[in-house]
Chains A and B, each alone.
Chain A
Amino acid sequence: MEGVLGILERLDRRWVFLAMALAVAGPILVMGITRKTLPETPTDASRAVFQVVQSLPRGSTVLLSFDFDPGSAGELEPMGVSMARQCALRGHKMVFISLWPLGGQMIDQTIKKVLRADFPHLQDGVDYVNLGFQTGNEQVMRVVLTDFKRAFPTTKAGRATADLPILSGIERVGDFALLAQVSAGYPGSKEWVQYVVSASGGKLPMVSGCTGVQTPQLYPYFPGQLRGLLGAIKGAAEYESLINAWVSDPANAAEMASAGADGGVSAVIPPKYLEAQRRMGPQLGAHLLMVVLILLGNVVYLAQRRSQRRAAA
């Protein structure tokens, strides 16, 4: 036993890194080859995001703020994809903006992946629009409270927003039916709650998807200031599974057809809509390893303390 404890005490940390690499790569390989995903049980916070988008009247105009960049796309891109997909399935109009410099490109990717691929009948400028990045952080939020088009005078492609069909009837941010936001840090969900949701007196419903680091800071806002919250990749996987379950349900066939979704109701979900659920496999492997390491660390600590007490006695 002393031998094993001795090895653990002197274990080079690089073996832990190697074990973590294997714990992550193993499930990715297995799930990549078998194309299987783990089952998800949605929490109330994730279910609320789904319900809020579902409960809006068809054709509502939703503001989607993608405040993230490729550095956090692993966690957040599946949330953005799912939000755009559910809005399209429900026939909502989508106005995309970003307060992060690379957010405009993340929006372009989502539009290409979801809207152009599976909802080709939707028209740019009429059913959706990418207004791109706007510099100014909280100042942009303060401006959109009173004059949305002043904060975003042109689209990402350079077209003036003044006479854009999708923005007819939108004067200020409070005119949107919902603010759906994906947040990687500053400026993000916290600032949107502080500067926009609070200032609107709770009239503008907001749902958010955020990184794991931000999630504990945002939970106090749910379900009051935030109507729904997707916490980290787990929240993304839950939300994805809710939409996939809805899409697979034959009872929703008529609504799917009216939304013009290519493929219609199908038990076979396209792999691009299983990204977050696939990423729960490596999460399982990594977390099991973490639990084992924490237990081993405590065993070594207790054994050390015991031997020190014996030596002192």
Chain B
Amino acid sequence: MSKEPRSPAILVWAMIVLAVAAVVGLRIGLGDGMARAYAERVEMRVTVQDVASPSGERVVEWVEWKSVSPAEFSRAVRESPSQDRVQLNPANTVGLWVAALLTLAIFSFLYRDNPAYRLAEAIIIGVSAAYWGVIGVWDSIVPKLFGALAHGWTTAHILPNLPAPTTQSQIGMGIALALGILLLLRLVPAVGGISVWTMAFIVGITAGAKIISHVESDLLAQTVATMQPLVQPADGGFWTGATLWASLPSVLVVVGVLCCLTYFFFSVEHKGVVGSAARIGIMYLMITFGAAFGFTVMGRVALLSQRVEFLLDDWLWLIDPLERRIVDGVSMIVGTGGVW
């Protein structure tokens, strides 16, 4: 078996990976280091009513940890080296590193599919599914279903401030519970067909609600918006450049609508005047698709730049646009001589 020649591109990419590793290594060693999160201890104290207490009230105390910038930690240490009010936050620091490594793992797919990318992908899917599950229970089932059908138990054990349900909402939730059980019967093959009732209810309600709103907001309102005077008189007279300029958008809208509709009208052959109008319609559609593509690119680049900003700012501490790491006018990027 002949061995495939090694591509020079692989060497280049290996050098890029090494360069990134070198930057991380240098940043850990130079200046005030990189990628650390700090928190400030805040003592909380409130007085609450307590019928069991002789005074009728009770003091509740607890500690909260508030995220602070590295500069605040550095300042606190300078003021009092033995202070423990502002401390390194190990959990958030680990979170910062995990976020950075997962970001790089996702970006690694651009080179080729690999185990690091698949691990990151699996974590995202798992976390999303779990989060949706938790949201479903705590934002839907508990406050809405339990809150309506078992209000006393819910307020006693879970949500003390939940308002009492109305009879209407209790009946509604009873019907929703019954429909939900019918839908779950899909898992029992012998009686699974009955779940169609719930499906029919969902489809019917959705279609009914959407048809009305679409007709009102997209068909009627947009048709009205198209029916505007072609000539928009501007100051200084009728036959002026200002009037022509002000009228141009209305003319373009009306021409565009008519030509695009003509393009989608297939009962007449696209020849002559109809063909010309259809071609103008195609141009309008192409401009629309171009604008959509341009906006999509802008959106994706914005998301990419946010992740790159995160890597360069929060993780590597190479830039500091929010001025969170400046102590007495000196940037922690170059080193303030502080303790960390």
Contacts and interface: CB of A to CB of B under 8 A. Distances in A.
30 contacts: A21-B308, A25-B308, A25-B312, A28-B305, A28-B309, A33-B319, A75-B302, A101-B135, A133-B135, A154-B163, A158-B160, A160-B161, A193-B217, A194-B216, A198-B216, A212-B295, A212-B297, A212-B300, A212-B302, A213-B292, A213-B295, A213-B296, A216-B295, A232-B302, A233-B298, A271-B323, A274-B321, A282-B305, A283-B301, A286-B304
A305 interface: no
A134 to B, nearest CB: 7
A28 B308 contact: yes
A287 interface: yes
A48 to B, nearest CB: 15
B186 interface: no
Contact of A158 (B111, B159, B299, B318): B159
Q: Is the interface of B mostly helix, strand, loop or mixed?
A: helix
A154 B297 CA distance: 39
A233 B304 CA distance: 12
B217 A212 contact: no
A-B interface, 9 closest residue pairs, ranked by CB to CB distance from nearest: A32-B319, A212-B299, A74-B306, A212-B295, A198-B217, A282-B305, A194-B213, A233-B302, A286-B301
B308 A220 contact: no
Interface of A: 12, 14, 17-18, 20-21, 24-25, 28-29, 31-33, 35, 71-75, 101, 133-135, 138, 142, 153-154, 158-160, 162, 193-195, 197-199, 211-213, 215-216, 220, 224-225, 231-234, 271-272, 274, 278-279, 282-283, 286-287, 290
Contacts of A274: 321
Interface in B264-322: 288, 291-292, 295-309, 312-313, 318-322
Interface of B: 9, 13, 16, 110-111, 131-132, 135-136, 139-140, 143-144, 159-163, 209, 213-214, 216-218, 221-222, 224-225, 288, 291-292, 295-309, 312-313, 318-323
Given A216-B295, A231-B295, A283-B301, A198 B209 contact: no
B217 A194 contact: yes
B222 A220 contact: yes
Main secondary structure of the interface of A (DSSP, over half): helix
Contacts of A142: 209
A29 B313 CA distance: 9
Contacts of A193: 217
A17 to B, nearest CB: 5
A283 B305 contact: yes
Contacts of B111: 14
Contacts of B110: 14, 17
Contacts of B9: 12, 14
B302 A194 contact: no
A232 B305 CA distance: 13
Contacts of A133: 135, 139
B321 A101 contact: no
Contacts of A290: 297
B81 to A, nearest CB: 28
Given A194-B218, A216-B295, A154 B162 contact: yes
Nearest to B320: A32
Interface hub of B216, B292, B298, B318 (most chain A Cβ within 10 A): B298
B320 A286 contact: no
Given A28-B312, A135-B140, A272-B322, A213 B305 contact: no
B163 A75 contact: no
Contact of B297 (A194, A224, A287): A287
A197 B216 CA distance: 10
B13 A14 contact: yes
A154 B161 contact: yes
Nearest to B205: A139
Given A31-B321, A224-B225, A232-B295, A198 B302 contact: no
A279 B299 contact: no
Contacts of A75: 299, 302-303
Contacts of B302: 74-75, 212, 232-233, 279, 283
A67 B111 CA distance: 33
A215 B218 CA distance: 16
Contacts of A216: 288, 291-292, 295
A194 B206 CA distance: 14
